[in-house]
Amino acid sequence: MPKRGKKSVFNESQENELVEFILKSCKAFFGITIPTLRKIAFDFAAANNIANNFNKDTKMAGIDWYYNFMARHPNIALRRPEATSIKRIIAFNQEETDIFFENLKKLMIKYQFKSNSIYNVDETGISTVQRNSRILAPKGLKQVGKCTSAERGSLTTVINCFNAGGTYIPPFFIFKRKRMNALLMKDSNSNMVACVSDSGWITESIFVDWLQHFKAFAKPTADDPILLILDNHESHISLRAHEFCRKNFIHVLTLPPHTSHIMQPLDLTFHGPLKTAYNRECESFMVNHPGTKITAYDVVGLYTKAFNRTTSTDKAVNGFKSAGICPMDPDKFKNTFESFGDIFASVSPLEQRIQTNTKNSSQNESQNKSQVVCDAANENISNPIESQEIFQLSNSDSYCDKQYLRLH
């Protein structure tokens, strides 16, 4: 441990306790800000009768204490977090993931899917306005400006798909328009396709169109069926989609609700670098075309450059590996399943306030625990889900014998 500063209030054991609390809170998606840490230090000292010179009016440790604390613990850094909804945090639990991996295991045993037959599909949105990167500017300048295409941009949805062997399906674009124009696809790769919708988002009908696009490249057969893993977005669940998959040897398995940030291969290794590359292409466009704004007619060309630069076999393979899907690893997230009570139990009485706030927030969120398993051979793989409202499809022509969906 680094040499302690002169103003240390807590001993080494007590500071380690605070460090452990910070790390566990971060792991639980409840990150500690600077003001929060200073308040926690004050409460910690008061609860343990530790002599200190903290501000009694603000009930906070001083800013000097914070800087010295950070200097003594270089394993902690100030980071800007990505927003993660409480639904996602709550939904990621062992019960739900166990159900998913049990269903995955049954499908793998029955069909012996190879890595190049296991696919993940997901949608992402791209804008005509790039996100600004940091730029060089004179020191001391309080405000720095940078030219963007516009203050608000139009959003285009892109459906991406790859398999665990490293093969990518050509992207499928959805423009917010009434009519399609061939010029929207200028500078695209061959086999990229597009359609339009009133909202610019995917719909049940468009998902079926994508399935036809997917089939043309994945080429599923009775002897070589496909496993398609996706989230449980409402557009993915329709009788037309089920019937199409049943007839074309496509087996569908949905991820547990609200777990894309941890279990969706595309989100884990591909979409982040892809959006960074797309943002750079937009910035380059603005530099090379001063005074010109990016329009829907430029999106596909810019996206194609970013897509070509980002795609790699390693990203696809590592995406499935990181999700514990291929190779299948049911214990992948075993060490991350800690209840919120356990997370906050280890650091003296000051956590009671935080734990209470956490529970109150959690109670305001409803949990959707449904998962969908669709076996194209009409083999029922049921989930032990508890739901007040159950919708069952069970006729002989349905996509799967029994399919359970929570009604919204």
Asked whether residue 143 is domain-assigned, the answer is no
Q: How many domains does the chain have?
A: 2
Nearest Cα to Cα of residue 33 among 80, 82, 85, 86: 80
Query: The tokens of 150 are what?
Result: 């516009």
- Output the pLDDT for position 129: 77
* 293 CA to centre of own chain: 30
Do 108 and 199 have their domain in common? yes
Contact in structure between 180 and 195 (CB atoms under 8 Å) = yes
- Alpha helix positions (H), 194-336: 204-218, 239-247, 260-263, 265-269, 271-288, 296-310, 313-322
Do 32 and 93 have their domain in common? no
Do 302 and 249 have their domain in common? yes
Do 55 and 178 have their domain in common? no
Nearest Cα to Cα of residue 304 among 165, 194, 166, 199: 194
Asked whether residue 134 is domain-assigned, the answer is no
Instruction: Please list, residue by residue across 40-74, b when 16 or more beta carbons sit within 10 angstroms of its beta carbon and e when fewer do.
Output: bbbbbbeeeeeebebeeeeebbbeebbebbeebbe
Do 101 and 238 have their domain in common? yes
Residue that terminates a domain, selected from 35, 50, 72:
72
pTM of the model as a whole: 0.64
Residue 159 pairs in a beta bridge with 123, 172
Asked whether residue 36 is domain-assigned, the answer is yes
Supply the range of the domain harboring residue 217. 86-126+149-331+368-406
Question: What does the alpha-carbon distance between residue 159 and residue 208 come to, in Å, rounded to a whole number?
Answer: 12
The domain spanning residue 279 has which CATH number?
A: 3.30.420.10
Do 289 and 261 have their domain in common? yes
Do 92 and 59 have their domain in common? no
Contact in structure between 194 and 185 (CB atoms under 8 Å) = yes
Asked whether residue 96 is domain-assigned, the answer is yes
Do 115 and 45 have their domain in common? no
Residue that terminates a domain, selected from 49, 72, 95:
72
Do 240 and 194 have their domain in common? yes
- Output the pLDDT for position 26: 61
- Alpha helix positions (H), 81-147: 86-91, 94-111
pLDDT tens digits in sequence order for the chain, 408 residues long: 444 445 589 998 888 888 887 776 665 444 578 888 898 889 888 888 898 989 999 989 999 998 998 899 888 876 655 544 444 444 456 777 888 899 999 999 999 999 999 999 999 999 987 555 444 435 444 443 443 433 456 899 999 999 999 999 999 999 999 999 999 999 999 899 999 999 999 999 999 999 999 999 999 999 999 999 999 888 887 778 988 998 999 999 988 877 877 899 999 999 999 999 999 999 999 888 888 889 999 999 999 999 999 999 999 999 999 999 999 999 888 766 554 445 444 444 445 543 443 444 444 443 343 455 656 554 444 443 333 222 222 222 322 322 222 222
Asked whether residue 142 is domain-assigned, the answer is no
Do 27 and 106 have their domain in common? no
Contact in structure between 157 and 210 (CB atoms under 8 Å) = no
Asked whether residue 345 is domain-assigned, the answer is no
Do 119 and 257 have their domain in common? yes
Do 26 and 95 have their domain in common? no
Asked whether residue 355 is domain-assigned, the answer is no
Residue that terminates a domain, selected from 28, 49, 72:
72
- Alpha helix positions (H), 48-153: 63-72, 86-91, 94-111
Asked whether residue 63 is domain-assigned, the answer is yes
